[in-house]
Amino acid sequence: MSPNEFIAKWKNVELTESAAAQSQFIDLCRLLDEPTPAEADPKGTWYAFEKGALKTGGGDGWADVWKRGCFAWEYKGRGKNLDAAFAQLQRYAIALENPPLLIVSDMERFRIHTNWTNTIQKVYDIPIEELADDRRRRILKWAFSETEVEQLKPDKTRQELTEEVAAGFAKLAQRLRERGYEPEVVAHFVNRLVFCMFAEDVGLLPHKMFTRMLEASVSKLDDFEVHSGQLFAAMQKGGPVGFEHVEWFNGGLFDDDRTLPLQENDIRQTLEVARLDWSNIDPSIMGTLFERGLDPDKRSQLGAHYTDRDKIMLIVNPAIVEPMTHEWEETKAKIEALMERHRTHSAKGEKTKAYNEAQALHRAFIEKLKNFRVLDPACGSGNFLYLSLLSLKDLEHHANLDAEMLGLPREFPGVGPQCVKGIEINPFAAELARVSVWIGEIQWMKRNGFDAARNPILKPLETIECRDALLNPDGTEAEWPKADVIVGNPPFLGDRKLIDGLGEDLSEALRSRFQGRVPRGADLVCYWFEKSRGALLKGNAHRFGLVATNSIRGGKNRVVLNRIAEAVTIFEAWSNEPWIVEGAAVRVSLICVQTERGKSTKLDGRLVSKINTDLTGGDLDLTKAQALRANRDVCLHGSKKIGSFDIDGDLARFFLQQPLNPNGRPNSDVIFPVWNGADVTGRLGDRWIIDFGMSMKEAEAALYELPFDHVVRFVKPERLQNRNPELVKKWWMHGGPRPAMRNALAHLSRCIGTPATAKHRIFVWVEKPILPDAQLMVTLRDDETTFGILHSHFHELWALRMGTSLEDRPRYTPTTCFETFPLPEGLTPDIPAADFTNDPRAMAIAEGARKLNELREAWLTPEDLVDRLPEVVPGYADRIVPKDDKAAVILKKRTLTNLYNERPAWLDHAHRTLDEAVAAAYGWPVDLSDDEILERLFKLNQERATGQLLD
């Protein structure tokens, strides 16, 4: 059929929809050279007329035509309301497998609405006359092909649109702040502007009223304050603005008519942003973006991070969606059986009884959803609440569509903002949470073909409270409201930053109130986990799912997870997920807990027999590994200075070259090279430190004139402000000098160092008189056998599992990584190194370790690229400097981190030789899998721990 023939036949046709729809669609297939449903799919499984016809009671289908992966298509008679047809398709889009296109037609117009998830919605409107144009026909033809339909997909995502609109408002908000307005006043005002733009783009404010007001105010600046005040007053209770009626909004957002004056550039920028399509903004990131714009440091003070939609759903799905979906599937099966009785039973009374029972089951489930409550006790700007609400609304919609398919009457959506509860300490964030929930509710209703609620449009959301979630103002523990499920993303704040973030008084009050439940060394997020555990035990919730930094898997933090595992069940977790925040990579753990036991357990998306509290799966629970007596006090932290004791190489050498002090002693007594973790993983930084030891009195330290004067000027002012009176009293001394480490080093020529946190677990020799600092873990042995065992794959595996992580850098802790590690029998740290000389196992390991270290040192400092210069005084290692600028460029890239990133063949062979020697020392095969190695090491640990008890 030619375009002109098609247009002539169907232009001004007077046939009814039922008489003409299928006939026109078949003609359209002929025009576009596409097969009809009957030709392409005779069984109608993926391409059919009348898709979704009711199985009971007859009735129309949910779409006049449907093609999987392409479209749902609804016809109306000539001149009929296509918006109503589109709303019908929206209501059934989920049941129609969410096709990418929703197409409506009145015989003379084809309107294509895009329906891709997470993209802005776009409409293609094609009058029948335009089908003479090949370009317009091509748009319709693309709709018929699963591969070509992508041509119609909008380029811009909802997130990109949201970032665009938020960027404009961030600038406006900042300017208002600079003019002296209080942050909360600016935030409330900006939230109103945001909602007005959204409201007019979804048709809740008539005829683009807000944009027209802005346009009229550009040339008359004083009019903006007057007109916006009138609009806000009307939205407070509902009423006229000029000759137009405004609905009742309020909800607390429009609680008065207060507004702020705007300058010309403010209005122009606001007008520019208002002309964007606000109906498609994504509330799950909107709050985050606006909050950063208004006060970028506000949330970062509490270490708060924001997840994207996919990460949030890793908690919302197992905590809310999956259990409620499972419950509905069980209910639906019962309804199906009852409706089958209703259809087949001959007795009227039995038919009615079966129907009523089926209807009661459906309504009971819907009532349960309406009364379902989700609590986010650190809700921020509402991301978790928004997506939880949408999930509950989707569940209700699915259930209603399933029930309608089985022959039960259609129900209007009843799940709404009343289903979510929140606690947020920041007033601005709390209001943002309410705005996000309101916008999410309205968007869902519109996208699924329903009108937004009225009288008022914004229901009060007093369930989102602005208060502290942990402590009341009087210092007592805060109560949380009851809920079915607790979800959220509590603030990330490490123990050491707790006082800086909360203040000393609040930090102490928090630690004291939770004494015995949360260890004092735990991160702030752990208090939310403990509170959630308590809610489950009291019956105030059934499940919870929270986000934490991945450091929750170890140290003091894990004590909280241990308490959880003793009482309830970790049923799903993601142990170490990447997470991008403002361009920076962090690592998080997502943990879901429930009171029920015996349900399926999933870790990182895989079924496991159980989840251990270090967030590993299976029966091998390394959290039960115990510290071994043979390893005690061998691996320790380096010296903790607490103050600006560091000096650079030039100043150190100047001090070292000075004449003897009044006490007749050189400055080399108190000035030493210092190494931290970066000196191991990167190039040596030529860093030195002033160190008056562990017992030197102030008067004695003062005899070292220049170093002491430096400490007086740069350290003393800092230390006098310290909260610890002992550090104030001994201001000239390091705050944590580590006596055990220093005393042991006095009898050794060197020790073994490894960074506290590093991408690769690397061990190096730390030669005297280098002082290891607090970021270097020090093993107090000078023999190559111990060096080799620690640098083997066996210890690396153990350390990775027993340590924690700081973002993507594994952390090495002496107590968990070293003290629990069972070295080969006869080669343990309680045996003097001199005893190893007669043990061939020890000698083989020592040779492998020596070779590995020699190869690495030759690669790091090749003789043809460096010069070795004697230090200015005896007793210190030679300085290694590049021969020239070209050598300096090459050497800059030669770091142990880069070496282990590349892992060249020679390095791999050296490690393999070392691993073979260590395996032989254990008496184990060399080809054990990682799991087998960990199982054997754990067994050794348990055997030796049991032996300790028997001793």
**What is the residue-wise DSSP string for 817-837?**
IITT--PPTT-STTS-GGGGG
- The C-alpha atoms of residue 105 and residue 74 are separated, in whole angstroms, by 7
Residue 706's pLDDT is what? 97
Residue 294's pLDDT is what? 55
Summary mean pLDDT of the chain = 90
Which range among 21-35, 345-359, 794-808 shows the weakest confidence by mean pLDDT? Answer: 794-808
Return the amino acid letter for 750: R
Residue 833's pLDDT is what? 92
The region, left, alpha or beta by phi > 0 then psi within -120 to 50, assigned to residue 69 is left
Residues sharing a CB contact under 8 Å with residue 57, sequence separation 6 or more, in sequence order: 407
Which range among 406-410, 502-506, 895-899 shows the weakest confidence by mean pLDDT? Answer: 502-506
- The C-alpha atoms of residue 584 and residue 92 are separated, in whole angstroms, by 41
Q: Which neighbouring-strand residues pair with 376?
A: 422
Residue 583's pLDDT is what? 45
Residue 146's pLDDT is what? 92
pLDDT bucket at 808, cuts 50 / 70 / 90: low
Render pLDDT for 932-946 as a digit per residue (tens, 0 to 9). Answer: 999 999 999 999 999
pLDDT bucket at 56, cuts 50 / 70 / 90: very low
Residue 472's pLDDT is what? 95
Residue 713's pLDDT is what? 97
Render pLDDT for 603-656 as a digit per residue (tens, 0 to 9). Answer: 999 999 999 999 999 889 999 999 999 999 999 999 999 999 999 999 999 999
Render pLDDT for 118-160 as a digit per residue (tens, 0 to 9). Answer: 888 999 999 999 999 999 999 999 999 999 999 999 988 887 8
If one counts every other C-beta atom within 10 angstroms of the C-beta of residue 302, the result is 18
Higher pLDDT: 307 or 559? It is 559
> CA torsion angle for 802, 807, 808, 812 (degrees, to 10)?
-30
Residue 910 has pLDDT above 90, yes or no: yes
Q: Which of 680, 648, 652 is nearest to 667 (CA)?
A: 652
Residue 478's pLDDT is what? 97
* H or E stretch covering 241: strand 239-241
pTM of the model: 0.83
- Averaged pLDDT, 556-561: 92
Instruction: Give the range with max mean pLDDT: 46-55, 111-120, 404-413, 910-919.
Output: 910-919
User: Using omega within 30 degrees of 0 as the cis cutoff, is the peptide bond preceding 460 cis?
Assistant: no
Query: Distances from the Cα of 765 to the Cαs of 684, 752, 853, in angstroms?
Result: 13, 5, 9
Percent of the chain at pLDDT > 70 equals 95
* Number of Cα atoms under 13 Å in the Cβ half of residue 523: 23
Residue 426 has pLDDT above 90, yes or no: no
Instruction: Give the range with max mean pLDDT: 4-13, 574-583, 747-756.
Output: 747-756
Query: Distances from the Cα of 494 to the Cαs of 106, 534, 645, in angstroms?
Result: 62, 22, 25
Residue 257's pLDDT is what? 93
- Averaged pLDDT, 906-933: 96
Residue 551's pLDDT is what? 86
* H or E stretch covering 104: strand 101-105
- The number of angstroms, rounded, from the C-alpha of 21 to the middle of its chain's C-alpha atoms is 49
- Averaged pLDDT, 484-511: 85
Q: Which of 581, 524, 585, 517 is nearest to 551 (CA)?
A: 524
CB 108 within 8 A of CB 77: no
Q: What is the 3-state secondary structure (H, E, C) of 886-950?
A: HHHHHHHCCCHHHHHHHCCHHHHHHHHHHHHHHHHHHCCCCCCCHHHHHHHHHHHHHHHHHHHHH
Higher pLDDT: 877 or 910? It is 910
Residue 338 has pLDDT above 90, yes or no: yes
Residue 675 has pLDDT above 70, yes or no: yes
- Averaged pLDDT, 32-36: 95
Percent of the chain at pLDDT > 90 equals 72
Strands (E), 364-408: 374-376
DSSP-derived secondary structure letter, 863: T
Q: What is the 3-state secondary structure (H, E, C) of 471-483?
A: ECCCCCECCCCCC
Q: Which neighbouring-strand residues pair with 422?
A: 376, 464
Residue 600's pLDDT is what? 85
- The C-alpha atoms of residue 642 and residue 553 are separated, in whole angstroms, by 28
Q: Which of 245, 6, 17 is nearest to 133 (CA)?
A: 6
Tokens of 123: 């409409």
Tokens of 943: 């055997």
- Averaged pLDDT, 811-836: 94
- Identify the three-state secondary structure at position 937: helix
Residue 894's pLDDT is what? 96
Render pLDDT for 578-604 as a digit per residue (tens, 0 to 9). Answer: 765 544 567 889 999 999 887 789 999
- The C-alpha atoms of residue 781 and residue 784 are separated, in whole angstroms, by 9
Render pLDDT for 720-751 as a digit per residue (tens, 0 to 9). Answer: 999 899 999 999 999 988 999 999 998 999 99
Render pLDDT for 251-305 as a digit per residue (tens, 0 to 9). Answer: 888 999 999 999 999 999 899 889 888 888 888 766 665 655 555 454 443 334 4
- The C-alpha atoms of residue 94 and residue 63 are separated, in whole angstroms, by 12
